[in-house]
Amino acid sequence: MDRVAYDEFSLFHENAAEFGLPYDGPPVVRREAVELDDGRRLSALVWGSEPAELVLLHGGAQNAHTWDTVALALGRPLVAIDLPGHGHSDGPREHGTAADNATDVATAIRALAPSANAVVGMSAGGLTSIGICATAPELVRKLALVDILPNPDPVMARRITDFVDGPEAFESFDEILARTMQFNPTRSESSLRRGILHNAVQLEDGTWQWRHGQHRRPASATPPTPEQNAARMNALWDTLGSLAVPLLLVRGMADGSVLTDELEAELRRRQPAATVAHVEGAGHSVQGDKPVELATLLAEFLDS
What is the pLDDT confidence band of residue 20, given thresholds at 50, 70 and 90?
very high
- If you average pLDDT over residues 203-227, what whole number do you get? 87
The helix-helix angle for 226-242 and 124-135 (nearest 10°) equals 60
CA distances for 143 relative to 79, 103, 127, 168, 219, angstroms: 15, 17, 11, 34, 35
Q: Which domains does the chain have, with CATH numbers?
A: 22-169+223-303 (3.40.50.1820)
Q: Does pLDDT of 140 surpass 70?
A: yes
Whether the predicted pLDDT of 217 surpasses 80: no
Report pLDDT for 219: 66
Q: Is the dihedral of CA 244, 71, 135, 51 positive or negative?
A: negative
Residue 42 scores a pLDDT above 70:
yes
Is residue 128 within 8 Å of 106, Cβ to Cβ?
Answer: no
Q: Specify the pLDDT at position 94.
A: 85
Reference 65, options 296, 285, 300, 293; nearest CA is 285
pLDDT score at 4: 87
Listed residue (236, 226, 250, 59) closest to 157, CA to CA: 59
Per-residue pLDDT tens over the stretch 90-133: 999 988 888 999 999 999 999 999 999 999 999 999 999 999 99
- Residue 138, pLDDT > 90, answer yes
Please compute the mean of the pLDDT values over residues 193-204 and round it to a whole number. 96
* Whole-number average pLDDT of the chain: 96
Going by pLDDT thresholds of 50, 70 and 90, the confidence category of residue 175 is very high
Rounded mean pLDDT, 49-68: 98
Nearest in space to 134 (alpha carbons), one of 24, 7, 57, 238: 238
Q: Comparing 218 with 42, which gets the higher pLDDT?
A: 42
∠ CA 213-126-118, nearest 5°, is 125
User: H/E element holding 196?
Assistant: helix 189-199
| pLDDT of the residue at 114 | 98
Q: What is the pLDDT of residues 1-15, one digit of tens each?
A: 578 889 999 999 999
pLDDT band at 220 (very low <50, low <70, confident <90, very high): low
- Asked if 128 contacts 83 with a C-beta cutoff of 8 angstroms, the reply is yes
pLDDT in the model for residue 89: 98
Catalytic residue list: 123, 147, 284
Number of H helices, E strands in the chain: 11, 10
Q: What percent of the chain has pLDDT over 90?
A: 92
Q: At what angle do helices 124-135 and 98-112 cross, to 10 degrees?
A: 80
Burial class (CB in 10 A: 0-12, 13-18, 19+), 153: middle
Q: Write out pLDDT tens, residues 235-288.
A: 999 999 999 999 999 999 999 999 999 999 999 999 999 999 999 999 999 999
